[in-house]
Structure 1
Amino acid sequence: MTDPRTDNILRRPEVLQRTGLSRSTLQRKIANGTFPAQFKLSERCSGWYESAVNEWVANPR
């Protein structure tokens, strides 16, 4: 994984577009531990590191 200070942050719509997953499938994979969990950006906002999403796209578990 790259340095979090220089890694882009992706929001849910972009993660769904890049992975081709539906919202419910994404949530199920997060709950099962087969997709990187999102992290809080603020009280009502979360995101994923671009490198984690790219790593999953290259090698889905």
Structure 2
Amino acid sequence: MPLKTQADYLSTFASLPDEARVDVHVVAALYGIATPTVWQRVRDGSIEKPQKIGASSRWVVGRLRRALSAEAVEG
């Protein structure tokens, strides 16, 4: 199975409901950063902490959309 590209993650994100959860790869694609940078930004508070589901970390799509909209307005 081929690795997904950022475009794959972004096209999938657009069709997800606000209640859906996504992993760090999707968050990295949305912000245009590497996955280690996502974790660094979580630590410094500039990206919201994910929810833990078992051993997995997942972000809520609706919250990500609001955060990205707020950044666009501030930027």
Q: What band does the TM-score fall into relative to the shorter chain?
A: 0.7 to 0.9
2:32 to 14, 20, 37: 20
Q: Which has the higher helix share?
A: 2
Identity across the alignment (%)? 13
Q: Does residue 58 of structure 2 align to residue 39 of structure 1?
A: no
**Deviation beyond 2 Å, 4+ runs, structure 1:** none
* Contact 2:24-2:58 at 8 Å conserved across structures: yes
Give the root-mean-square deviation of aligned CA atoms. 1.8
Instruction: Determine the structure 2 residue equivalent to 1:9.
Output: 21
Aligned residues: 55
Q: Which has the higher strand share?
A: 1
Query: What's the TM-score, normalizing by structure 1?
Result: 0.73
Higher RCO (Cα < 8 Å, 6 or more apart)? 1
Stretches of structure 2 that go unaligned for 5 or more consecutive residues are 1-17
SS in 2 for 1:46: strand
* Contact 2:24-2:38 at 8 Å conserved across structures: no
Per mean C-alpha deviation after superposition, the further-off stretch among 8-17 and 51-60 is 51-60
